[in-house]
Amino acid sequence: MSRKYFGTDGIRGRVGDFPITPQFVMNLGYAAGRVLAGAEHTPGERSAVLIGKDTRISGYMLESALQAGLIAAGVDVYLAGPIPTPAVAYLTRTLRLQAGIVISASHNPFEDNGIKFFSAGGNKLPDSTERAIEAGLDMPIKIESSDQLGKARRLDDAVGRYIEFCKGTFPSAMNLRGMKLVVDCAHGATYHIARNVFHELGAEVIAIGVQPDGKNINDGYGATAPENLQRAVIEHRADLGIALDGDGDRLVMVDAAGVLYDGDQLLYVIARHRQEQGKLRGGVVGTLMTNLAFEHAMQRMAIPFMRARVGDRYVMELLQEQDWQLGGENSGHIICLDKHSTGDGIVSALEVLHALRSNKQTLAEAAGDLQLYPQILINVRVAKGMDCLGHAEVKASVAQAEQALDGRGRVLLRPSGTEPLLRVMVEGEDRQLVEQSAQKIADVVRHLAAS
């Protein structure tokens, strides 16, 4: 059975439009409370969940709605306030809670918001649990008796706990003294956290994107808009720039010359360093969007490599299946399972800094051996539910492109999980050939969509 509301990263949409409404979110809180914490309460014991959020103004409304639903289900609620998504995963695990809930739409604009869940172990929920919660949404709310209602309380030390956790993932014998860093927090959930982590490890920190007003999250700052970071690194003559997204689970970095490095390049730096240290367990997981040059680099280093579906939850599932520890996406989600149970932008940045300090290298030197292939992505609007992938003309255009690439590139057609779009991606060594191939396939799809 497919999921009705949950996408690849929880439930997300425009605030005020179904399902991101107070009524739905209250129902969701109740259904989640029954599924995650259990419908039956052992006398003397109470189930509890943690709620964290990013800096969107709509978070106040959705937090109250979630609270109401959870409390009606007899579940206690800890409120962490604005805090990164990976912090919720960490605190849920260490506080021995039944679940963690994040109110965030990650890198989306402030008009959007969403709800995502973590299990007691700090992992994303499996599809089966999300389906169970969705089934519960069809049931009426049956409020617990007054003596069984949940309670809500503020978790006052959430930020300090998480800062110490992040610092604890960095080698105790190493520090960042002598480094000047520009840290861009996207006016998001790390605005009061990230600079403290790097500063307390010894770095000189210039922080930008740290003045959230409820409406400016991801607006011109952060991992999806790194131009201000690139300028700031050059202006301040910094050694590195670090950009996080609105909820703190995504990372991109900038070197001293203002050059941007994506998730594939940062994952390469971490993987190579771990292999050199003899600390790479198994192989590395990427996604269907991971650059082909990364795969070839792993082959040269004799590191096993596998591709998961797009989405950090699927990277996680494949890592667990293979009993590996390292994986990520080119968008900047990097997972180091020996450090954390989920992707964490701050922890990932510290892993890169660990590699640079250990080898006495700049980021440009550490990532220099990985030359990414040109990758062209064209989004083609199609009718909702239209099956382009099975059409003969589309198949023929893909076969023609693959023949032209002659093993020196690849073609990927992927329907969007959130919009009526077909994503046409072509990559390879020859930029002109890649661009031509992508455009030809996109033109065929456009013609079909218009007919």
**Residue holding tokens 């604005």?**
82
29: CB partners within 8 A, 6+ apart: 65, 66, 67, 68, 69, 70, 72, 73, 101
* pLDDT tens readout for residues 153-166: 999 999 999 999 99
3-state SS, residue 331 = coil
**Residue 106 annotated as catalytic:** yes
- CA 364 → CA 89, 224, 262, 334, distances in Å? 32, 21, 12, 19
140: CB partners within 8 A, 6+ apart: none
The pLDDT, as a whole number, for residue 43 is: 52
Residue spans of alpha helices (H) in 176-301: 194-200, 227-235, 263-276, 292-300
Residue spans of alpha helices (H) in 226-344: 227-235, 263-276, 292-300, 312-322
Q: Which residues pair with 119 in a beta bridge?
A: 99
Tens of pLDDT along the chain (451 residues)? Answer: 467 899 878 999 999 999 999 999 999 999 999 997 664 445 557 899 999 999 999 999 999 999 999 999 999 999 999 999 999 999 999 999 999 999 999 999 999 999 999 999 999 887 888 899 999 998 899 999 999 999 999 999 999 999 999 999 999 999 999 999 999 999 999 999 999 999 999 999 999 999 999 999 999 999 999 999 999 999 999 999 999 999 999 999 999 999 999 999 999 999 999 999 999 999 999 999 999 999 999 999 999 999 999 889 899 999 999 999 999 999 999 999 999 999 999 999 999 999 999 999 999 999 999 999 999 999 999 987 788 888 899 999 999 999 999 989 999 998 876 678 899 999 999 999 999 999 999 999 999 888 8
Amino acid at 136: G
pTM of the model: 0.93
Look at residues 311, 6, 320 and name the one whose alpha carbon lies nearest to residue 136.
6
Q: Which tokens sit at 107?
A: 């890198």
19: cis peptide before it, omega within 30°? yes
| Separation of alpha carbons 328 and 284, rounded Å | 8
345-384 burial by CB neighbour count: b if 16+ within 10 A, else e? bbbbbbbbbbbbbeeeeebeebbeebebbbbbebebebee
The secondary element (H helix, E strand) that includes residue 92 is helix 85-94
Q: Give the rounded distance of the alpha carbon of 361 from its chain centre.
A: 27
* pLDDT tens readout for residues 1-56: 467 899 878 999 999 999 999 999 999 999 999 997 664 445 557 899 999 999 99
Whether the CA torsion 437, 443, 446, 451 is positive or negative: it is negative
Kindly name the residue from 47, 104, 106, 341 that is annotated as catalytic. Answer: 106
Burial (CB count within 10 angstroms: exposed 0-12, middle 13-18, buried 19+), residue 416: middle
Region of 375 on the Ramachandran plot (φ > 0 left; ψ -120 to 50 alpha; else beta): beta
3-state SS, residue 175 = coil
Structural domains in the chain plus CATH codes: 11-158 (3.40.120.10), 174-258 (3.40.120.10), 262-367 (3.40.120.10), 375-450 (3.30.310.50)
Look at residues 273, 307, 278 and name the one whose alpha carbon lies nearest to residue 290.
307
Q: Give the rounded distance of the alpha carbon of 270 from its chain centre.
A: 18
**Taking the CA of residue 316 as centre, how many other CA atoms within 13 Å lie in the half-sphere pointing to its CB?**
21
Look at residues 382, 171, 354 and name the one whose alpha carbon lies nearest to residue 272.
354
| Separation of alpha carbons 366 and 350, rounded Å | 15
